[in-house]
Each structure stands twice: as C-alpha cells, then as structure tokens.
Chain A
C-alpha cells in the first residue's frame, strides 16, 4: 500500500524526501501538481517501496538519463567536422579531437543532469510534463544520485578540458574550453541564462552550430573552413527548431510560471509560422555549403533530405490549433528524426567521400 505524505519546506525532512535520501527501501515520488506553484510550495509525495516500482533495464535508464538523442546534438557537429576535415585532407590532432568529443559530451550530460536536479528541487517539472528525463519523477533514481552523477560528469569534463589545455596550451584551445563553459552558463544559469529571456533558440543556434564546428576545427586542425561554418549553421538551425518545438508544446506551463520563451513572446499563431524561418536558415546554409564544396554529393543529399522533412514538419505545425494539439509532439519527434537523419547523412557521406579520395 502506497503512503501519501505532504511536506512543507519548513519540515526538517523536506530536503531528505526531495533528495530521496530519507530511506534506502522507499522512494518519495512527487505527485504531479496541476496548480500553479508558489514560492513556499509544499510537496506531496507518494511513498513507494523500491521493490514495487516498475523499472526499465539499467541500459534504458542510463540512456534516458543522458538523453541520448539530445547528447547527439552536441556530438554530431564535432564528429561531422572531424570527418569533413579528414575528407579535405586537413591534418587533425586526433588526441585533441577525441578529448574535445569526450569533454563536450561530458559537459552536455552534466548540464542536463544538473538541470533535471534543479527542476525537481524547485518543482518546475510538476507543471510542465514535457521537461527533463523524468528518471527522478518515476523513482528510477534519487535526486541525490542524479546530482552526484551530474557533478561527476562536470568534474570529468573539466579534467578533460584541463588535460587538453595541458597537451596543447594554445590560446585557441583555452578559448574553446572557456567558451564551452561560458556558453553553458550563459544559456542555462537561473539568474541570467539566455533561455529565460526568450533567447534560447539563437543561443542554441550558435552554441550547437557554428561555434561548435568552427571552434572544434580551430582547436584540432588550426584551420577553419566556410563550408564547415555553413554546415554548423544548418545543424544549429535544426537544433534550435527542435528546442523551439518543445517550447511551443510547453507554452501553457511556461506562461503560468512566467517564463519568457520565444513562442510566448510571439503568441501561438505567429509562433506557428516561426519554424519556417528556422527551416529556411537550415536549407539555405546547407545549399550554400553545397555550392561552396562544388555540389558535393553529401551536402546536395542534405539539401534534398532537408526539403522533404521541412515540408512534413511545416504541414504538421501549421495544422496545430493549439499548444495542446497532438500534432506538435509528433512534429517534435519528426524534428529529432530529421536531425539524426541529416547528421547521419553528413557523417557517412563525408566518411565515404574521404575513403574514396584517400583511395
């Protein structure tokens, strides 16, 4: 039999329940609230024995925790840049490239886990069901453990960054390290983060787009290329679009919590048209990249795939009649598939081209 308990922030056990450290045999699952949270929020927990919780396999929990598809949005620009440089026969500092890949990956995981932890502790995810990995809410892992794992990944990312600077102590490597940390902080810090000012999409466009591709190529090859910048713009536009769709779905929760996301600033009907802009930037970027590489097969394919996906995404978004429409989560899933397809096409295409030119 599950027990229900409501605790006030003044209760001495309040934080132990939130963190999940109050018991080794039970989990305190926060009950979803449909009411607006305030500054002095009590939390109602369903106390459930760990043995009775339905848990997926550890692999699935791990994948959910690190949010693999989201992680790929940090890693794909680096991998694509790497194979692109190799394909162009530009010498790549392989150890450094590997470190950048691992460091950025660790940082991405750390930021998401610490965001999950913060949202849980502040009760944000009660009102917005689309937030986060939900491993804490489902009782698969305690908040305390998520925090520890988050800070562990952050420490590992720092160590990798420091090792990279030690192995190649140049200004550009130091700037890439500081830029990564500064970018994350400027994006998600609760006091001044860009995502709280309706600027999440432009910030993501830069951070997970051209800044990543150009930063990476400057670090590992002391070179940068216009095509790589344009590829970064295309990928950045697509990441921004996916994030934008998430904000579009979560408009009501964000509005009630006073967030100023881009869809809220635009209003639903104008917000529905904005994906057109993201897609135009993406298609234009890939098209220009294709032109700059004298119509490489890979980039030409990317343009074609973009056009097909863009039409399907726009058709769904335009038909949505409110942020509650089931078409929007479908569009978001299509957007993610879109990102993975484009990235995979670029990665494999450049690999094949590299092998052919190498042969």
Chain B
C-alpha cells in the first residue's frame, strides 16, 4: 500500500517514498518523507535523507498506524505520529552508526562515511528538531511530553550502551535495562502515542500500554540479537556484527553466562558461526537457544497478559487491535513472515 497519506497541514505532501518490505504484520506500509519536507537550501540534507529513508521496514510507523487506525484517528494525525517515530528512529540510526563507526546500514554506506560525521550529526539533530516543531504545531502537550521523554530515554540508552563496549561480564538484567531505554522506549511510544493523541488516557490503559510496549521492545531486541547469531535470520542480516564490534548482546550474554574462562575467551574471538560452534559445541548452542526461547516465551505470555488487560477499556472496534497486538511477537521475536 503506497501513498496513503498526504497531509498538507503538516506539510508532507509531495514526492513520497514507501517502505516496501513486508514484515508479515497486518500493518500498513506508510510513506513518511518527501523532499518538500526539508529546506531545499540546505546542502546535502535532502540527499542524505533520501539515502536514509529509502531503506528500512518502517516497522515502528506501521505499529503506530495499526493502533491509530483502531482508534479511528484522523489520517493527518496518524501521519504525524508515524513521521515522528520514524524521524526519531532514523535520527538515532544516524548517530548510532557514527558512534559505532558502522560502515553499512541497510546494505548501503552509512551517512557519516558517505557525507561527513558532521553532516550525520547535524542531520540527526535536524530530524529531532523537526519532530518537536511538528508536534508543537499539533498542540497536544501530553504528546510532546511523551515524545520528549522517549527521546531522552533513547539518548540515555545510547550513552550507556557506548560505555559497555568490550564489557564481557555484563549481565542480562543490566542489558535489559539498557534495551528498555534504547528500544523499549520507542515501542512503548508507538502503542501509547495514538491514545494520547485522541485525548486523555485512562491511567490503567496507559500502564498496560507502557508495560506491553516495553516488553514488545525487549522481544524485538532479543529477536534481533538472535539474528546476529544467525538464528531465524531470514532477513540475512550480517552475522556476529555485535560481537565483532565489541558488544555482547542479550543472546551473547545468555550463551556465555555458563562458560569457563577459557571457553569464553575462545567464544569472544569468534569471527564466524563455525568459530562459535567450535568454541561452544553445537549442542550447547542449541540447548541454550531452547532455554532462551523458553525464557522469552514466558515474556510473550506476560506481554499477552498486558494486552488482554486493555480488553475492558476498549470499545468493540478495539477488539481487532487486541488481536493484532497479540500476533506481534510472532513477527518481532519469532521473525515469522
């Protein structure tokens, strides 16, 4: 589905780009960005954004649209929210790639390498500024507060994560707290923001959405971390990217938790999955994967519980939202298409 939204009020009309990757969810693909959205007189800005927004699954904006549609939000409001989350997410990618010195993003040269680190920083900052300008024009103070808090959490997460490079003894509990800031905050926002845009949100609904969003973010992150170990990697993401960059992700922590010192050193040196299997043994790897899945299945049950608590608070049309939300872990954790 392309070109669903054209919103003159917030100035997104014009040439739009779609997110073509179907992630298997019953969510709409939404065009987020058009060249007319950003000042034409700024050198390289539009080119840089053109590169940045031309890939990606638009997962978060589709989640926003899923909730927004169930709440019968105006198209312009859904568009504003989708753009907000995608701008913030992409700003974080611009900064993240520079911090990690990553050469590739979505199989393309990263912005800081293709342009300059300075342009990458400024382009990320500009996206965050645009978000605030657009939200201020919308005039919902609670939404501005929610969004500012999300940006603040995201940056805190980035900051802390940077301090954990080459920390091989980090615990899963601490990593969860970092991921909650970095990833969970965005998913939490995706579920909550459409409700806030409608008007005042009941405190119980808010709590359920926050809890569900936080867990969804954790599940997505853990699913993503498994891709790094080539588990359910149908997206063909680069294998062992985190480990090679000096970062032990959630599955890495889970895998290495029971290893002896020597085994762990071997594991940390792995350059390929065959290195991983030879340092740990393939059966150990599979056993730990089953345990990891079991642990996350319990988390999915908890997510389902929080989603179900919304039942009493939504009208009949909201029931389909509950059904759709309950399906999300299939895609976000199990990566089923």
Contacts and interface: CB of A to CB of B under 8 A. Distances in A.
Contacts of A4: 301-302, 305
A44 B177 contact: no
A191 interface: no
B171 A326 contact: yes
B160 A31 contact: no
Interface in A28-53: 31, 33-35, 40, 42, 44, 46
Residue among A34, A327, A329 with the highest chain B CB neighbour number at 10 A: A34
B211 A326 contact: no
A257 interface: no
Interface stretch (A194-202, A233-241, A317-325, A341-349): A317-325
B254 to A, nearest CB: 15
Given A6-B309, A324-B177, A31 B169 contact: no
A322 B164 contact: yes
Contact of A325 (B167, B298, B309): B167
Contacts of B214: 34-35
Interface in B177-216: 177-178, 180, 184, 188, 203-204, 207-208, 210-211, 214
A44 B204 CA distance: 12
A4 B307 CA distance: 12
Contact residue range for chain B? 20 to 34
A250 to B, nearest CB: 11
Given A325-B164, A326-B170, A326-B171, A40 B203 contact: yes
A46 B218 CA distance: 19
A6 to B, nearest CB: 6
B306 interface: yes
A13 interface: no
B174 interface: yes
A330 B169 contact: yes
B184 A34 contact: yes
A335 to B, nearest CB: 17
A129 interface: yes
Majority SS of interface residues in chain A?
Answer: loop
A123 to B, nearest CB: 13
Contacts of B224: none
B176 interface: yes
A35 B160 contact: no
A324 B170 contact: yes
A252 interface: yes
Nearest to B169: A326
Contacts of B180: 34
B208 to A, nearest CB: 8
Interface in B130-182: 159-160, 163-164, 167-171, 173-174, 176-178, 180
Contacts of B218: 34
A31 B210 CA distance: 14
A322 B160 contact: yes
B247 to A, nearest CB: 13
Nearest to B304: A4
B177 A34 contact: yes
A35 B211 contact: yes
Residue among A322, A327, A330 with the highest chain B CB neighbour number at 10 A: A322
B235 to A, nearest CB: 26
A324 B207 contact: no
Nearest to B165: A321
Given A34-B180, A34-B184, A326 B167 contact: yes
Contacts of A6: 208, 305-306, 309
A285 B163 CA distance: 35
A2 B204 CA distance: 23
B177 A252 contact: yes
B302 A31 contact: yes
A33 B180 CA distance: 10
Interface string A323-341: 0111101100000000000
Interface string B98-114: 00000000000000000
Contacts of B208: 6
Contact of B163 (A33, A44, A324): A324
A35 B306 CA distance: 14
Contacts of B207: 42
B171 A35 contact: no
A324 B204 contact: no
A8 interface: yes
Nearest to B180: A34
Contacts of A44: 211, 302, 305-306
Contacts of A129: 173
A8 B204 contact: yes
Contact of A324 (B164, B184, B188, B306): B164
A324 B305 contact: no
Contacts of A329: 171
Nearest to A3: B305
B163 A321 contact: yes
A35 B188 CA distance: 10
Interface string A240-283: 00000000000010000000000000000000000000000000
Interface of A: 2, 4, 6, 8, 31, 33-35, 40, 42, 44, 46, 129, 252, 321-322, 324-327, 329-330
24 contacts: A2-B301, A4-B301, A6-B305, A8-B204, A34-B214, A34-B218, A35-B211, A35-B214, A44-B211, A44-B302, A44-B305, A321-B163, A322-B160, A322-B164, A324-B160, A324-B163, A324-B167, A324-B174, A325-B163, A325-B167, A326-B167, A326-B168, A326-B171, A326-B174
Interface of B: 159-160, 163-164, 167-171, 173-174, 176-178, 180, 184, 188, 203-204, 207-208, 210-211, 214, 218, 298, 301-302, 305-306, 309
The 3 closest A-B CB pairs, nearest first, are A326-B169, A322-B163, A321-B163
Given A325-B163, A326-B167, A326-B169, 13 more contacts: A6-B306, A33-B211, A34-B180, A34-B184, A34-B214, A35-B188, A321-B163, A322-B159, A324-B177, A325-B164, A326-B174, A327-B167, A330-B169
